[in-house]
Every structure is written in C-alpha cells, then in structure tokens.
Amino acid sequence: MSSLIGNSIEFYEFLIYGSFSSLYFNKLFFPSFDPMTGTLLSLSTFAVAFVGRPLGAVVFGHFGDRIGRKATLVTTLVLMGGATVLIGLLPTYGTIGVAAPVLLTVLRFVQGFSVGGESSGGFLMALESAQPNRRGLLTGIVGTGNAWGLLLANGVLLLVTLLPDRQVLAWGWRLPFLLSAVLVAVALQVRLRIAETPEFQQSKAEGAVRTRPALEVLSRYGLITLCASLSTIPLFLVFYLGSVFSLKYGATVHVSHDVMLELLVVSCVFLIVAMPFFGWLGDRHSRKAVFVGGIVVMTVAPFAWFPLLDTGSFPLMALGFVLLFTGFAANYGAQAAFLPQLFPTVVRYSGMSISYNVGGLLGGAVSPIVATSLLSSYHSWKPIAVYMAAAGVIGLVASAFLREYSERTVARPAVETPATAASPEIATAGI
C-alpha cells in the first residue's frame, strides 16, 4: 500500500503538470510567444524533469543501497510533494516576468530529481518483501499507481476545466498542485510505519553493503544498464504520448478535452485490471516474454490508435486506447519484477533507478515535443506512428541482451557477498 500510494502520487504530480503544460502554461508562463512556440516552450519544461530523473537516480540509488530503501523513499516523497506544492504557489509571467518560467523550470527539475529515486524504490519495497512466486503480481499492483495517478489527475483536470477559462487562468490551475500537499501527508503517514525490506536487512547484516553502488553499476554492469535503459524507451514514449500528447492531438481532430479525458478514464480502468494480470502472468511463465511481448504490441499499435482516434466515435476511440495500452500494460506490468532482478541485491536500487530513469529521459522527456513538432510540420499522424514504432524496434533489440541476474535471486531472498559479487563469472551472468 505504501508503494502503491507513492507511485500514484508520483504519476499524479507528473501528469497534472504534463496536462497543464500542454493546455495552459503557454499562456501563464510564456505569453509573449505565438501559441505554437509557447506550447513547445511549455512542454520543454515538462522535459526538464526527465533530465533531473537520472541524476536523482544516481543520488537516491546510492543512498537506497547504502542506508536503506525506507529512509530514501521518505526523503523523495517529501521533496517531490514540496516541489509540486510550490509550483501551485508560483507567481505567473504577468506578475514577475521572466523569473516565473525560470522558477517553474527549477521546481520542475526538483520534481524530476526526486522522482528519480521514488519511481524505482517503491517497486523494490514490494519486490523485496514478497514471496518469490508473487513478485510479479505485487509489483504489478504497485505499477497500477500510474493508472491511479492518471485517473486522479484527469479527474481533477476535468473538474478544473468546468470553470470558465478566465477563472482557470486566474486561479483554478493552482488547485491540482496544492492538492498534492494532502496526498503527500497521507502517504507519509503510511510510509513512516513500514519496515525495511528483508533483503536489504540481510545484506546489511552480512556486511555486503557497497560503498559506491552507483559506480559499481556503471563499471561492472554497464552493458546491462544500457540495454535496460533502451528497453524501457517504448513504455515511456507510449505512456506520455497516450496521456499527454493525446489531449493536443484530440483538439486537431475536433475531439473535445472532456471527451479525451473520459477516454483516458476508460484507459485507467483497463490498466488497473491489466497490469496485475500481466505481472501474475510473468510469475507463472516468463517475465521477459511478457516484457518483450508488450514491446511488440506497442510497436504496431500506433498504426491502429491514430486512425481510430480520427473516427471521432467514442467506442472506436476507446478501442484504440485499449489496443495501445495493452502493450504498455504487459510491458510495465512485468518490468517492475524483471528489471530489478537484472542486478544483484546490493546494487539493485542503483541499477534499476539508473536504467529506468535514463530510459525515461530518452523516451519520455522529448516525446510530447517531438510529436507536437511532427504534427505541426506534417499535419499527419503517420510520422508520429513511425517515431513510436522506431522506439519499439530499439526496445526489442536491447531486450535481447537481458535476462535475470541469477536463478538464485529469483528462487530465494539471497544476498550476494562481496566475494560472489566480485566474481567475473557471476558479474556477466546478467548479460
């Protein structure tokens, strides 16, 4: 529950920002530019958080492997929530001029920096506390946090957009960000009560904790980290284009924001059911097979998603979203148990955080900007679909080099001793 709440808040804060940067921040923070340029600049602040994510992954991954998962996750939760609330309190361009977008960019970076540690740590809390044959199911449930976050973000956005545009621009846009204070307070109460994971406690008791875990990940497991990062590009690209860019695309095909938000609600309900199912499927069969199968679907689904959106028919558009997010659900439902087990326990936080958030930088940071630019240049969805398919091909090639670190780490809660972790034979077992 602690991990699920933290994951939900993380995605709520990320997605509420993405939605407002796509719809309103060009007028609030970049009003001196023409609408398209202002939108692109606004979306660029959305991308800034993804630059902060890998840096946060290195820093918080280090502390997660050094001092423990729990203390690190409490820190990231407070930092992430604080930055979001401050965004809701920011003066706009009309009040303080160019300082407004500068401060917005700084706070967005802090958001991303903290999420770099939060995003992976929550999964590890669940994975390292679970029975080996239930790891996929339980981390799949934690993974539904992105759907709960998206559901909450779109529900709040839907309520805000019921206001006249003048009131939204005057004060209504602040409410979703200020709501984060309540969400973080609830999550903090839950998180402070949980215990450290058994696997980390065991590694600490055995003296196996590393001094520089992030450095060890990059030096000893560099190829695994690179391939894991590339393999996650499709999931980030599909999720953020499906949840953020879709609002912009809907406007170009004369589908109202309200209808697009309703379609995303349908998608959320589907994801909440589908991700635990695919996590469970990975427990029963092969996590890698489910992971790769999701990438295959994400590679081809855009060529059906866009034409179905163009129909303007709610049932057909909903079918398009379900097709697109089926691949995402399979891939994301399996990755939370698959990616951590590419690395030994003593560097697992660093390994997963770095690979996952570098993938986020490559797949999520610029995808709304690239898609918006392609749409503006070509006035067609086809170049965007090709862009999404190319990311899928990269993910498939990278996935071919990945397998879980060792059957021993799957079969029981094992901790590698310094001697075994240093063994070249074992160190290459994850390639």
State yes or no: pLDDT of 408 exceeds 60: no
- pLDDT category, 307, cuts 50, 70, 90? very high
Residue 235 near residue 331 (C-beta atoms within 8 A): yes
Q: pLDDT tens digits, residue range 365-383? A: 788 889 988 998 998 999 9
Burial class (CB in 10 A: 0-12, 13-18, 19+), 315: exposed
- Taking residues 55-77, what's their average pLDDT? 90
Higher-confidence residue: 266 or 14? 266
**pLDDT at residue 110 in the model:** 92
Residue 331 near residue 288 (C-beta atoms within 8 A): no
For the entire predicted model, the pTM comes to: 0.81
- Taking residues 11-34, what's their average pLDDT? 78
Higher-confidence residue: 386 or 193? 386
Q: What is the mean pLDDT of the chain?
A: 86
Higher-confidence residue: 207 or 100? 100
CATH number of the domain that residue 357 is part of? 1.20.1250.20
Cβ contacts of 22 within 8 Å, gap of 6 or more: 39, 42, 43, 46, 244, 245, 247, 248, 368
Q: pLDDT tens digits, residue range 227-283? A: 999 999 999 999 989 988 898 899 889 998 889 888 988 999 999 999 999 999 999
**pLDDT at residue 231 in the model:** 96
Which structural domain range is residue 400 located in? 2-427
Q: pLDDT tens digits, residue range 142-158? A: 999 988 988 888 788 88
- pLDDT category, 419, cuts 50, 70, 90? very low
Higher-confidence residue: 429 or 396? 396
Distance CA 297, CA 406 (A): 28
Query: CB-hemisphere CA count at 13 Å for 289?
Result: 7
**pLDDT at residue 417 in the model:** 41
**pLDDT at residue 39 in the model:** 67
- Taking residues 71-95, what's their average pLDDT? 91
Task: Report the number of distinct structural domains present in the chain.
Answer: 1
